[in-house]
Amino acid sequence: MGYLNEAQQAGSVHIPQLAAQVEKQGGPGGWGQLMGILGLWLRFRGFRAEEFYTYALWRKDLPHSFLREFQTGDERRAFNEALQMPERGPPTEAIRDKVVTERLLSAAGLPVTRTLAAFGPATYADDIRHLRNAAEITEFLSDPAHFPLFGKPRFGTYAHGAAAMTACDAATGTLRFLTGKDVPAAGLAAEIVADWEKGYIFQPFYRMHPVLTAHLGAAMASVRICTLRTDDGVVPYYAVVRIPAKKAMHDGDAFGTRVWGLIDPGTGRIDKLSNLRNPMGPAITHWLNPDEPLLGLTMPDWQAAVAACLRAHDVFPGHGIIGWDVFLTEDGPLLNEANSNPGHVYQVAAARGLRNPDLEPMYQRALAHARRINAEDGVTRLPRL
């Protein structure tokens, strides 16, 4: 039995199911959808069928500007890699490794989430307990002093394999997920060893600031703050809050409606809320609190969170763009992860293409900076945009 595969299952794309849903929403039939997907595949490099549904590209009222400014997943990779300055280091592998990222940020004096224990290859950090096998993982998960706890793969994205655990019962050998589900510690440990041999880490289950908990619930809603490196230094690019689905353990892939909020990077105000599967759909103003709107809320400790991301970007001078996952906790902002190839959640949250007139000048400044640095360093093999 899989205890950690729900996010991966929820993130799987089922085109027939999405196609039927579009028809129920008054969209085109199967043949019309097929022709629409084919036309976009011919127009955009690397266009994938699921993007037709994720961005509601079937809607007749889709703004004309959206497709002019839209960026596919494949285009996004070249878009991001064009900003890399490989001679300046650290390498991208350091960002992909959550433990190494944590160590580098902590050494720079930045507020960062803390790994308590890790399974897999040696962590090279004295304060992280190294779990070598299923028995040691089980022992760790059977100690009530470690809870509440959050586990996730050392490498990986979309919260696949992640779980929030609120308590354990040493007498029965079980632990409880945030969803209320009871799981055998030994069974969970065996699954981690079998499926995540490259590494799995355990951190405290951090609590959100009370202002956010009232709207978003118990699961952590991380904030993606994307930063760019330009000749004028590191600058904020965009910001999005990823709201967990109701009854979910985290803000990654999950069953149920998921909403993302566009945040004004300068003020921390939530300016727009969008349904992940229908960003062009009806306006969303509230989430869990029916009496107070989430739309228009100013995120707590916002200036400190942005400042931490700007400082953290200087730890990775070889990267022109980084997407930071930030926890706005009851004790202040914490940097949780860094992404060297951010997926640009902006397009869903804003219901707008990334390459729009407001953001494009910033990107061009970052691109010019990267090209100048690479020319100085003798780097000639650059990604083609």
Estimate to the nearest angstrom the gap between the alpha carbon of 272 and the chain centroid. Answer: 18
Is it the case that residue 8 has pLDDT exceeding 80? Answer: no
Mean pLDDT to the nearest integer, 4-15: 75
Please report which confidence band the pLDDT of residue 216 belongs to, taking 50, 70 and 90 as the band edges. very high
Give residue 13's pLDDT. 67
Give residue 255's pLDDT. 82
Is it the case that residue 1 has pLDDT exceeding 60? Answer: no
Task: Output the DSSP codes for 336-357.
Answer: EEEESS---THHHHTTS-SS-T
Domains in the chain: boundaries: 7-62, 79-110+209-377, 114-204
Please state the φ and ψ torsions of residue 345, each to the nearest 5 degrees: -60, -10
User: Which residues, including other chains, have CB under 8 Å from residue 228's CB and lie 6 or more apart?
Assistant: 83, 234, 235, 236, 237, 320, 321, 362, 363, 365, 366
Give residue 127's pLDDT. 85
**Structure confidence by residue, pLDDT tens digits, 113-167:** 999 999 998 876 778 999 999 999 999 999 999 999 999 999 988 888 999 999 9
CB 285 within 8 A of CB 38: no
Residue type, 281: G
Tokens 């040493």, residue located: 170
CB atoms within 10 A of CB 165: 22
The percent of residues above 90 in pLDDT, for the chain, comes to 74
Task: Identify the sign of the CA torsion 200, 204, 207, 209.
Answer: negative
Picking from 24, 55, 22, 29, the residue whose alpha carbon sits closest to that of residue 40 is 55
Mean pLDDT to the nearest integer, 193-211: 96
**Helix 15-24 crosses helix 30-43 at what angle (to 10 degrees)?**
120
Picking from 236, 235, 209, the residue whose alpha carbon sits closest to that of residue 224 is 236
Under CATH, what is the fold of the domain 79-110+209-377?
D-amino Acid Aminotransferase; Chain A, domain 1 (3.30.470)
Estimate to the nearest angstrom the gap between the alpha carbon of 116 and the chain centroid. Answer: 21
The percent of residues above 70 in pLDDT, for the chain, comes to 97
Is it the case that residue 383 has pLDDT exceeding 80? Answer: no
**Helix 134-141 crosses helix 185-195 at what angle (to 10 degrees)?**
140
Is it the case that residue 326 has pLDDT exceeding 70? Answer: yes
Strand 129-131 vs strand 117-119: parallel, antiparallel, or unpaired? parallel
Please report which confidence band the pLDDT of residue 64 belongs to, taking 50, 70 and 90 as the band edges. confident
Rounded Cα distance between 181 and 257, Å, is 20
User: Which residues, including other chains, have CB under 8 Å from residue 109's CB and lie 6 or more apart?
Assistant: none
Tokens 């400082």, residue located: 311
Mean pLDDT to the nearest integer, 63-85: 92
Picking from 316, 380, 275, 297, the residue whose alpha carbon sits closest to that of residue 108 is 316
Please report which confidence band the pLDDT of residue 385 belongs to, taking 50, 70 and 90 as the band edges. low
Please report which confidence band the pLDDT of residue 325 belongs to, taking 50, 70 and 90 as the band edges. very high
pLDDT winner (highest mean) among 86-100, 152-166, 203-217: 203-217
